[in-house]
Amino acid sequence: MVDQKDPKWIDLFLDIIEKAYLGNDFHCDKETFRLDPTLVMPADFQRRTIDSHSSYESLLKALDPTFKSLANSEVYRAKTGWMAKGLSGHNGRKIRRITVGTDVFLIPDLSKQQSVGIDTSGCGNKETIMVVCSIPDYEGAYAWLEKHLKLPRDLRKNELHWTKLNPTYRDLLLSKFDLTLSICCDGLLVIKTNAFIDRRGKMENIFTNLIEGCFSGYENDPTQKGLRPNLKHKFFRATNSVQIHCDSDFTPLTPDKVVRLLVQTLAKQNNGYFENYTPLFANLRSHESKPIQIADIIAGMVKTKLFENKEAQELVKPLPFDLRKMIKYSDSPPKAYFWFA
């Protein structure tokens, strides 16, 4: 009789997800499968007919019949099934479930560490896009960009950089906008403004007011009254006591000061009191920081998709900006957008 609780079965399940995602060799019995980077779907383990068009499909076909039989009941079993255990953590290993449209993917959580990346991207000669990216797994996100999409690093700085990508790679990213965003982030705040170039006040006040303007005001708008404080609290939870990586794009503010201002502003409640907050600054330059490089790619994608190509898309939603916070810029009001998984 097959022991459904034998850990070797869930270990095999998690091994397939991780090695397929990374494109590693997989040893099964006496055969070695040289896998290309592949996104695993839960339904893969329940396929009855498998065409061997790839090494991954050949692997699925060669799996132990006992594993295949158990997969029919154990992959989706609530609370105690393989997917449920992988999502909550099993023997130091975790997976993430990504949903894009009707497709569901299972990917490994490689870093098991939440982080935040802050970066900017120029939008024409006068405006800048700033992004705050909540990144659930920067190692997994980087593997998607580097192994699956095969984005090349800038040879001089040895880092991924949107402006260094040729049109082919940019078009590839834009064609996979929803999937890339969902793999790389679980939350995103976007602000488009000319205030970083046309400075009409102290940079510290400009930065703080840009963040506050995303979440204040609109008290009489029923669609915004509950949404804005909710969003602010979500972004606070995503940034508080989390390693935040920031490029030096906000001079004269230093990156550590930007991180402190961000978390402090999000901690401020409507009554003027502050929630307890702990800014954690990751003191790394862009070529040393994968979260900064990920944020750079996301900023470039968002800038091109929303503002240059002006393409409609469903994920990133507009967030009305409270112009009272940036009244000096009433001639060119900031625009804000957000997304949460």
Query: Could you report how far apart the first and last alpha carbons of the chain are, in Å?
Result: 41
Contacts of 199 (CB under 8 A, 6+ apart): 206
Spatial distance between the Cα atoms of 296 and 298, rounded to a whole number of angstroms: 5
Boundaries of every domain in the chain: 7-108, 115-340
User: Sign of torsion, CA 9 10 13 18?
Assistant: negative
Alpha helices (runs of H) in the chain, residue ranges in sequence order: 7-22, 55-62, 65-74, 82-88, 138-143, 167-175, 177-184, 203-213, 222-225, 227-239, 255-267, 290-302
DSSP secondary structure, 249-269, as one string: -STTS-HHHHHHHHHHHHHB-
- On whether the CB atoms of residues 242 and 116 are closer than 8 A, the answer is yes
- On whether the CB atoms of residues 321 and 336 are closer than 8 A, the answer is yes
DSSP secondary structure, 85-148, as one string: HHHH-BTTB-EEEEEETTEEEEEE-SS---EEEEEEEEETTTEEEEEEEEES-HHHHHHIIIII
pTM of the model: 0.94
pLDDT (0 to 100) of residue 5:
65
Share of the chain above pLDDT 90, in %: 79
pLDDT tens-digit profile of 145-176?
999 999 999 988 899 999 999 999 999 999 99
Closest CA to 301 of 214, 215, 181, 192: 181
Average pLDDT of the chain is 93
| 1: confidence class by pLDDT, cuts 50, 70, 90 | very low
Q: Which two tokens stand for residue 296?
A: 């750079």
Domain 115-340 CATH assignment equals 3.90.1720: no
pLDDT (0 to 100) of residue 248:
92
Spatial distance between the Cα atoms of 105 and 205, rounded to a whole number of angstroms: 42
pLDDT tens-digit profile of 82-103?
999 999 999 999 999 999 999 9
Q: Which two tokens stand for residue 267?
A: 């901690």
**Packing angle, helices 177-184 and 167-175, rounded to 10:** 80
Contacts of 323 (CB under 8 A, 6+ apart): 213, 329, 330, 333, 334
- On whether the CB atoms of residues 75 and 203 are closer than 8 A, the answer is no
pLDDT (0 to 100) of residue 225:
84
Residue 212 has pLDDT above 50, yes or no: yes
